[in-house]
Structures are given as C-alpha cells and as structure tokens.
Amino acid sequence: MSLLINLGGIVLVGLIIWWFWLSRPGGKKPLQVSDEVTIVVESGVYEPGLIHARAGQPLTLHFDRRDPSPCAEQVIFHGLDTSEFLDDGKVTTITLQNPPEGEYRFTCQMQMYQGRLIVD
C-alpha cells in the first residue's frame, strides 16, 4: 500500500514540474503577424502564449486579467526591460515601441505564467 502512495506522490510531483517548468506555451498555431493582440490571463496560462510581431513597428498588447491569483498580477518582458501590473478583472494595455528582432519571453513575477513574443 505504501508503495502505491509513494508512486502516486512521484507522479504528482512529475506533473507539477511539467506543468510549471517544462510545458511550452503556445501549443496552438501562432497568430498571424499583428500590431495589436489581446491576451487573456486565466487558469495559469497566457492565451495566446505565442505572439508574432513586426520588427521596428509599435506593438499594442491588451492583457485581459481574469485570474485573481497574486501570480497573475504582473507581466514581465525579459530582454525588453518592460513590466506592468495587471488589474484584476480589467484590461491593461501595454505598447512596445519598435521592438527589435528577436525572441522574448514574457512571464509573471514567479515565472509560472509563460509566453513568447517573436519579432521578425
């Protein structure tokens, strides 16, 4: 009996590790290249989690925060020196002025919510 409990615990730990650190966001087909995107923040994910944008042109992102958890209260764009607090139940607009070519991660402050911005 204790063997089953231990195996169940190991499986549970493995699922937690996969969910928060190993799963890749944006498993769906990425959006077409766009200058304006609405991102829903809910249930531990950004949807869409993969965004394509044009280099050298402003990009407007509307974050619709539907998750009241503290982890969802901030979005950080790594490599772009940009972060913003998101109000619960409201849409927060962030404009990235002329982002350079590259691939950038955007996450919550604890890096549980994860997304990617591809600029080309």
The total of structural domains in the chain comes to: 1
What pLDDT, on the 0 to 100 scale, is given for residue 113?
A: 93
Query: What would the mean pLDDT of 16-24 be, rounded to a whole number?
Result: 71
86: domain CATH number is 2.60.40.420
Choice between 85 and 2, residue whose per-residue pLDDT is larger: 85
DSSP string, 14-61: HHHHIIIIIPPS--SPPPPS-SEEEEEEETTEEES-EEEE-TTS-EEE
Q: Which domain holds residue 86?
A: 36-119
What pLDDT, on the 0 to 100 scale, is given for residue 92?
A: 96
Looking at the chain, the whole-number percentage of residues with pLDDT higher than 90 is 59
Strands 36-42 and 59-65: parallel
pLDDT at 117 over 90: yes
Its pTM stands at 0.74
What pLDDT, on the 0 to 100 scale, is given for residue 98?
A: 87
